[in-house]
Structure 1
């Protein structure tokens, strides 16, 4: 595979569905205890309560992360920099949100999909969990 060819992005159609988001209010203290070694205060977990069911419309996202090779092409065409000297087939890292948004806009224009965007947090969770409510 040519890891610089943005036309070869492997897209996944994620069907509409629902998922549980957040932490049940009565489980916040236990979650905070379980992850006490992270240094995250209980109040941080409390903002994830209550647990709610969220409906997610169908969407499409790339199966794999953007590669260093794909990012290099974007950087060359837009006057940007590549934040890594990693091989072309490795995922690009060290990219800020604004540049990631710019990449999506650039890619959308190149492949004829204006409006291409980053997935939302809820879409990421839906794609990762599938239909069986796995954690």
Structure 2
């Protein structure tokens, strides 16, 4: 079985996430411990991470890096989106320059290898389809982030502010970093930046109590919800609990003022 391959269409390095069971979500005790990390208030619906459950996941592939501005510019150049499509896919483009006419889109040089940001769920889905890939499910995303040893963060159980790009990082720009930075913060499978830098869309609709259904063995994706799932935390998040592998978020898929949300691609084996 191939453990890694490069997607010909967009150049994404895809790595095998092997089949197997893992522990998903949190216990009530773990959500209480998470709140104590930052004295968090009710703005964090941590009970949506419960009940904790064991889930078996088939083999799949996940991109080692988030999609870059350079990759997204290539996508736009080939698709040649209408103004309506562009408005549906991104909030704004300040790191990708639309030159107009017959000239292609291009990434601003200093941000070529940074993750594309301000992408709606529809933009993320469109990119993945163009590349012959897909968005990961929420279950797949968490399996790739934490492995099968119940870890709290992608790198382990102890908080380490130097393993991710977050509000407390020691940089003056308070913005994204290149997608290959913070290698020491990788997941058990060698996937980078599953905590920090940019949050990432998943395929699923967000349902607050979906884990209760999952616990019965019914792992079918929700057909509706209060938004689409976002995972991972971004460079402007301040609370440590937001970078835990179990942390769940949602946003409106068409929201056109979304900041620091990007794309990570998956593929079936």
Instruction: Give the TM-score, by structure 1 length.
Output: 0.75
Task: Find the residue that maps to 1:19 and give its secondary structure.
Answer: strand
Q: Which residue of 2 is the match for residue 68 of structure 1?
A: 69
Q: Which residue of 2 is the match for residue 103 of structure 1?
A: 127
State yes or no: 1:130 paired with 2:130: no
| Gap regions ≥5 residues in structure 2 | 1-7, 87-91, 96-107, 153-269
Q: Which residue of 1 is the match for residue 118 of structure 2?
A: 94
Deviation per CA, 1:21-74: give whole Å up to 9, x if none.
Answer: 22223x1672464156443357x2223222111111110011101110110011
Q: Is the 8 A contact 2:15 2:64 kept in 1?
A: yes
State yes or no: 1:119 paired with 2:136: yes
Shift of 1:97: 0.6
| Gap regions ≥5 residues in structure 1 | 109-115
Q: Distance in 2 between matches of 1:134 and 1:118?
A: 23
Q: Distance in 1 between matches of 2:75 and 2:35?
A: 44
Q: Whose RCO is larger (CA < 8 A, sep 6+)? A: 1
Question: What does residue range 1-135 of structure 1 map to in structure 2 within 5 Å?
Answer: 6-25=9-28, 27=29, 30-31=32-33, 33-34=35-36, 37-40=39-42, 44-80=45-81, 83-85=93-95, 86=108, 87-108=111-132, 116-135=133-152
**14-23 vs 93-102, which moves further:** 14-23
Q: Is the 8 A contact 1:104 1:117 kept in 2?
A: yes
Instruction: Give the TM-score, by structure 2 length.
Output: 0.40
Q: Distance in 1 between matches of 2:131 and 2:25?
A: 32
Deviation per CA, 1:72-113: give whole Å up to 9, x if none.
Answer: 0111122345734252111111111101000011111xxxxx
CA RMSD of aligned residues (A): 2.5
How many residue pairs align between the two structures? 122
